Structure 1
Amino acid sequence: MTQQPFSRPGAIDLSGLKRQPPASGGAAGAPGAPAGGASSAYAVQVADEQGFQAAVEASMTAPVVLVFYAASQSPESATAARDVETVAGEYEGRFLAALVDVDRTPQIAQAMQIQQVPLMLVLIDGRPATQPIPGALSLDELRTLFNQLGQQLTAQGITGRHQPRTGPPAGADEAADEQPAADPRYAAAQAALEADDADGAVAEYQKLVDANPADAEAAAGLAMARVLQRTRGVDLTAARDAAAASPDDVEAQTLVADLDLLGGHVDDAFNRLIELVRRTSDKERDAAREHLLGLFAAVGNDDPRVIRARQQLASALF
């Protein structure tokens, strides 16, 4: 599984959608519809082009994970969509799963040029934020993926949350329906990131880690904030030239590794530092190893790439 960095390549073109009546019975309660009538408060079943437009617009608030599947032709893809719904619900508004049965909405599949199912696409601000992710992932792989997305969101100061799609009946206490825009524990750090204040974010995350060393999200946020702090104002070309000229210079190599990580080239960042560990000794080796461990924390210790890189690091050390 590979993780694509967030980007803003362009808005989704909805011009190809033809106005058609929704499938009879509606998708939300139809047999095989993964959402099962909104079994998760943070999932919607897209029944027609209006529902698709609403899902795209919802990504202006917080990320929407589009999942394309075919319930009648591929039960496995429907199971994959159900799994995405489950994992999205675990993040309590950080993501909204929008499930699209291409059998029932062929006009959407055609407009989006869907060639296979299942297929995932993350939207932010009405635009694709990753490359399409084909195939079914296990629950563990999905949790790893969503964890990575959450870390990148935090690092970029994207803190919005979706309101739950199900809740108390009309007339209930409105205050009880309100969802906080973000976890208050991380508010100060996220505010610093939004203000492009990497130093402030490092300080705030450090407070959280000092107070609770077991807070994995704070530790990941701290590691990523430190990457942002180290790379602030760095000229990418000059950094790469310096690293090429001095292959055993720990400072030059770790800086390029940071830049690779921010650019989404996670394996490249890890491999660069593992090879540096192989070539160096004493203080230089220790510095390269410690830096690499920090990048592991930024990506997430459960990430398959981190697990693989840890094995390679052990081999390089011993």
Structure 2
Amino acid sequence: MTTQPTPPSAKLNLRGAVDLGALAARNTRREEVARRAAADPDAVTQGSPFVVDVTEETFAELVQSSVQVPLVLDLWAEGYDTGAEALQALADEYAGAFLLGRIDAQAEPGLAQSLVQSLQARAIPLVAAIVKGQPIPLFTGSYPTAEEIRPVLEEVLRVAEANGVTGRVEGAATAAEAEPAAPPVPPLHAEALAAVEAGDFDAATAAWTKALAQDPRDAEATEGLARVGVLRRVAGVDLAQARAAAADAPDDVQAQIVVADLDLVGGHVEDAFARLLGIVQRTVGEDRDAARTHLVDLFSVVGATDPRVVKARQALTRALF
């Protein structure tokens, strides 16, 4: 069974959360890691500066380091460690954006027991993140695939950035120097991202719209435009008042849409989806259509391949038919 990360209480801001240049570089490195793994399956798990073995003696220091670099912990045991290679390959692929700490439950039983209890977990393998000393449960039991793990890691990195944790693992610069140069970011993409960083949502909207006019199949522009739409809608909204209004009027579609947007910006993706799915399930006519349309728009914000989107899209289909 897998669970998605529960972000810390700090509000997650989508501004700057998607760096297309970094994503392009990461895709290049992903291909490199895949080639190395095919040639030598052990190559991605040995000698990496981004993977460390954790003991009781080193645990406290690593947790302290999570104020600078996100820490992902992999608690494993012989006979239960099925698929950890995917995590280690991803640590190499992300090249220092997070540190992967491996804990052998049999060698470190005290540490393993403390971690399981603190996270209220029921099984190992257990994977969790730590950001600024705060634990974020990710998943337990059998490992998901690398493609399923990746969006979870992206969410952890967004939470970390929202909390000011933007450092990199020491030694990452040296590894990055060996990477092939990333393809340049398209000018209109760069213009839109710069506008979002500056808080100029009108300019960002215009740039993304131009990019889509040039290439209607530009998925990054489609997602960027959807993100700007969310940021524009929640700008200046009082969170407490919005939640109170939604609680007082559970079938007020517009009130629920506002809170769904706030949930999404706050990193509570599944809550946002569930709120709108509830409206679709219990209303008809224009209200139902408005909730459905907005939910599909939020799918674009998160990304079509995100497992949470896939799950919510299936639920939407069941609700409609």
Q: Match for residue 176 of structure 1? A: 177
Paired with 2:6 and 2:210, the residues of 1 have a C-alpha distance of: 26
Q: CA deviation at 1:111?
A: 5.3
Partner of 2:80: 76
Partners of 2:128 and 2:107 in 1: CA distance:
19
Matched with 1:105 is 108
Q: Gapped runs of 5+ residues in structure 2?
A: 11-41
Deviations 1:83-103 (CA, angstroms, capped at 9, x unpaired): 221223232332221112233
Q: Contact conserved, 1:201 with 1:222, CA < 8 A, in 2?
A: no
3-state secondary structure, aligned to 2:137: coil
Q: What is the CA distance between 1:293 and its match in structure 2?
A: 1.5
The residue that corresponds to 2:38 in the other structure is: none
| 2:79 counterpart letter in structure 1 | P
Q: Distance in 2 between the 1:316 and 1:111 partners?
A: 42
Unaligned runs of 5+ in 1: 10-32, 169-174
Instruction: Tell me the CA shift for residue 226 of structure 1.
Output: 3.9
Is 1:59 the counterpart of 2:36? The answer is no
Partner of 1:206: 208
The share of aligned pairs that are identical, in percent, is 39
Given that 2:67 and 2:165 are in contact with CA atoms closer than 8 Å, whether structure 1 keeps it comes out as no
Q: Are the equivalent residues in 2 in contact too, given 1:61–1:161 (CA < 8 A)?
A: yes
Relative to structure 1, the CA distance from residue 306 to residue 280 in structure 2 (aligned partners, 3 Å threshold; closer, same or farther) is same
Q: Give the conservation status (yes or no) of the 8 Å contact 1:68–1:120.
A: yes
Q: Deviations over 1:99-119 (max 9, x none)?
A: 122333345335545675321
Deviations 1:193-251 (A, max 9, x none): 777x4848955983796477666666556544543442344334432343355455432
Of 132, 135, 139 in structure 2, the residue corresponding to residue 133 of structure 1 is 139
Give the superposed CA RMSD.
4.3
Q: Tell me if the contact between 2:51 and 2:102 (Cα under 8 Å) persists in the aligned partners.
A: yes
Distance in 1 between residues matched to 2:65 and 2:206, nearest whole Å:
30
Structure with bigger gyration radius: 1
How far apart are the structure 2 equivalents of 1:121 and 1:204? 39
* TM-score of the aligned structures, taking structure 1 as reference length: 0.65
Letter of the 1:56 counterpart: V
Taking the aligned partners of 1:154 and 1:216, their CA distance within structure 2 comes to 24
What pairs up with 1:21-36 in 2 under 5 angstroms? 36=45
Q: Which amino acid aligns with 2:141?
A: G
Instruction: Name the aligned partner's letter for residue 68 of structure 2.
Output: T
1:120 equivalent among 120, 127, 137: 127
Whole-angstrom CA distance in 1 between matches of 2:163 and 2:193:
9
Residue 140 of structure 2 aligns with an amino acid whose one-letter code is: P
CA contact (8 A) 1:118 1:136 kept: yes
Q: How does 1:32-51 map to 2 (within 5 A)?
A: 36-38=45-47, 40-46=48-54, 49-50=57-58
Shift of 1:254: 0.6
1:62 shift after superposition: 2.7
**SS, match of residue 103 in structure 2:** strand
Q: Report which of the two has the higher share of helix.
A: 2
Residue 122 of structure 1: how far off its partner (Å) = 0.8
How many residues matched?
278
Q: Secondary structure of 2:89's partner?
A: helix
Which residue number corresponds to residue 261 of structure 2?
258
Q: What's the counterpart of residue 311 of structure 1?
A: 314
* Offset from partner CA, 1:63-83 (integer Å, 9 cap, x none): 12011112xxx3322x34332
**What is the CA–CA distance in structure 2 between the aligned matches of 1:102 and 1:224, rounded to whole Å?**
41
Cα distance in structure 2, aligned partners of 1:217 and 1:155: 21
> Residues 191 and 204 of structure 2 are in contact (CA less than 8 Å); yes or no, is this contact kept in structure 1?
no
Q: Which has the higher contact order (CA 8 A, sep 6+)?
A: 2
